[in-house]
Structure 1
Amino acid sequence: MLDTYKFFAQLAQTWGLAYFVAVFLIVVAYALWPSNKKKFDDAARIPLRED
């Protein structure tokens, strides 16, 4: 039981880290992609608009 737990804990830590790093890089690339600039600029101005 203990060996199985250690194996799955090691697996989750290693692949979990790789998964979160990959997701982080995808989100950063999406946010900085030039074609998304207008969409994000429009969203940033929403609080300043008069209804």
Structure 2
Amino acid sequence: MYEALASFAQTWGLLFFFTVFIGVLVYALWPKNRDKFDAAARMPLNDDAPPSEDGKKDETHV
């Protein structure tokens, strides 16, 4: 009985996780999602202050 349950869980578990992996891969590479991921990648950079006009380094952040 244990061997049958273990075999069932291994087979269907593998198929389940493979399907989830393919789903995540398709979602990540789908062209429609590119703008969303690009915006998320730029999010940390959007918080930075722009460089000053005179070229001096901004000393407000240490």
Identity of aligned pairs, percent?
56
Aligned structure 1 segments of 4 or more residues deviating by more than 2 angstroms: none
Aligned residues between the structures: 48
Distance in 2 separating the partners of 1:26 and 1:50: 32
Contiguous gaps of at least 5 residues in structure 1: none
TM-score of the pair, normalised by structure 2:
0.73
State which structure, 1 or 2, has the greater radius of gyration over its C-alpha atoms.
2
Structure with larger RCO (C-alpha < 8 A, sep 6+): 1
Higher share in helix: 1
| TM-score normalised according to structure 1 size | 0.87
Say which of 13, 21, 24 aligns to 1:24. Answer: 21
